[in-house]
Amino acid sequence: MSASLNTAAVATVATVATAVDPACAEPLAVLGRDVTVPLVTGGEVTYAALDYAASAPALQRVWDDVAAYAPYYGSVHRGAGYLSQLSTDLFEQSRVTVAEFLDCRPADQVVFTRSTTDSLNLLAAVLPADCQVFVFETEHHASLLPWVDARVTYLNAPRTPAEAVATLERALADREPGGPALVCVTGASNVTGELWPVKELAAAAHAHGARIVLDAAQLAPHHPVSVQELDVDWVAFSGHKLYAPFGSGVLAGRADWLQEAQPYLAGGGASRKVARREDGGVDVEWHTTAARHEAGSPNVIGVYSIASACKALTEAGFENLVAREQHLIAKVRSGLAEVPAVRILSLFGDDAPRVGVISFVVDGWNSSHFAAALSAEYGIGVRDGLFCAHPLVRTLLGSEPQAQGECGAPEAAPGERSLNAIRVSFGAGTPDEHVDRFVRAVKELVADGAKWQYRTEEGRCVPAV
C-alpha cells in the first residue's frame, strides 16, 4: 500500500483509477441508506447524508461483522474464559490489521484511543520536556489545541503547497538549536478537502531534526495512507470518519516517546506490577507496549469495527473508491460553478487535489439559514458554521483569524461580523442521486428563495412552526 501525498502522485491516483467507470460504479452499502425523512413542504424523501466529514455512516459490512461478534463479546487480557480469550485474540489481531492498513514500520506501536482528538492529546501528553511544536493555523481544533504544555509556533495559512513547505522550513531553521521538536499537519483539510504535501513536509521536518504527526481523520477514509512512504512519525485518525461506529480511534507510530512517558491514564491494564512500599506508598511498573496508554477496559467492539472498516476499504480497492469520489467531486464543483452567487472556499486553488469535502458561501444568505432550508425542504444533511477550524475559515472568509466564534453559531457576537459557511461532504457510500439533489437544491434556493419561513432557536436556524 503506497500513498505519496505530493500533488503529482495524488493526481496520478485519480487519473489511473479506471478499473471501473466511476459514473456506473455502485456506492458501498452503508447504514441509513434507505431512511426517509419528512419535508416541511409535505411528504417524505430518502435522506441525503452529505456530512461525511463530521461522521461517515457505518458500512453495512462493518455492522454485520460487529453483529456476528457481539454474542461472543468478553473482557480482554487475563481472562481465563473462552470468550475472554477469543475477544483478546480479536482485539490484538485488530491491532495488526490497522498496522497493515497504515503500512506501519515493524517497530511502530498502534495505540487504540477514543478519537483523533484523543490520539493527539495522548501524543501531546507524552512529548519530551521542552519540546517545540509547529502547527499551521489551518488545522482542525483537534490538532491545533492539544499542545498547551509545549512551546507552540503557529504558522500562517499558506496559499500553495510549496508555500506550506517553505513556511515550515523557515520556521524550523529559525528555532532554537537542539531539543526535540514536533510538526503537526493535516492530510486533507476538513474545510476545503484539499490535500496537503505531507511527504514534502515530513522531509522538511526530518531535515531539521523534528518529528511529524499526521492528522489523517479526513484522509484515511478517502486515500490509502502509508506511514513508511510518507515517512511520518505518527498518524492519528477516528473510526467514526472511517465508516465505523463512534467511540474509537488510533494513534500509530514510533514507540520511544510513548514508552518513555508516564501513562496517558493511570489504572489497570497500563500497569504490569504494583507493590506497596514500606513508607506506605506504591511502586508501579508500567507496560512498555501499547497497553501503557490503554488503561481501563478497552472498547473492543469499537476497535474491531475499525479493523473491519480497514479490511472493507482495502478489499473495495482505493483506486476504485478514489475514482468514484472524484466523479462526485466534479459533479458538485461544476454544479456550484454554474451559480454566480456561490463562492467555494479554497486555500490552494481550483486545481488542487482534494477529497469529497467542499465548503462554500452563498451571497445574500446566512449559511445556517441555507443549511436549514436544504434539510427541511430537500432532506439533505450538510453542516454549517466554522467546522472546528475557526482560524482557517475566518481567514478564508476575510476576517481576523483570532476573532472569537462558536462552532455552528449563525449569529455574531455584538460588534462582530456574522461569519459561517456551508460544508457538503461525501464518500464511499454516497449515491449520485444525493449529489444531484444537492446541486439542484442549491440552484433552486438561490433562484427562488426558501419555500418556508425560518427562525433562530437556541442558536440554530430552524423552520418556523
Q: Within 13 Å, how many C-alpha atoms sit on residue 30's CB side?
A: 29
* Distance in Å from the first CA to the final CA of the chain: 53
- Report the candidate in 28, 82, 75, 78 with the shortest Cα–Cα distance to residue 56: 28
3-state class (DSSP) for residue 28: coil
Q: With b meaning 16 or more CB within 10 Å and e meaning fewer, what string describes 347-368?
A: bbeeebbbbbbbbbbbeebbbb
- Residues 258, 239: Cα–Cα separation, whole Å: 21
Give the distance from CA 307 to its chain's centroid: 17
- Residues 199, 204: Cα–Cα separation, whole Å: 9
Q: Is 388 a catalytic residue?
A: yes
Q: What is the chain's alpha carbon radius of gyration, rounded to the nearest angstrom?
A: 23
Other beta carbons within 10 angstroms of residue 402's beta carbon come to 9
Query: Among 104, 184, 310, 388, which one carries the catalytic annotation?
Result: 388
CA distances from residue 112 to 95, 168, 248, 250, 348 in whole angstroms, order as listed: 8, 30, 7, 5, 33
Where are the extended beta strands (E) located within 207-328? 211-215, 234-238, 249-253, 271-276, 282-286
- Residues 193, 370: Cα–Cα separation, whole Å: 21
CA distances from residue 395 to 233, 315, 386 in whole angstroms, order as listed: 29, 39, 11
- Report the candidate in 141, 176, 172, 179 with the shortest Cα–Cα distance to residue 155: 172
Q: With b meaning 16 or more CB within 10 Å and e meaning fewer, what string describes 107-132?
A: ebbbbbbbbbbbbbbbbbbbbeeebb
- Report the candidate in 413, 417, 221 with the shortest Cα–Cα distance to residue 312: 221
CA distances from residue 53 to 188, 238, 383, 453 in whole angstroms, order as listed: 10, 11, 9, 28
- Per residue, what are the HEC states of 61-89? HHHHHHHHHHHHCCCCCCCCCHHHHHHHH
- Residues 5, 294: Cα–Cα separation, whole Å: 31
Residue 336: beta bridge partners? none
Q: With b meaning 16 or more CB within 10 Å and e meaning fewer, what string describes 205-218?
A: bbebebbbbbbbbb
3-state class (DSSP) for residue 115: coil
Would you please indicate which residues are annotated as catalytic (active-site) residues? Answer: 388
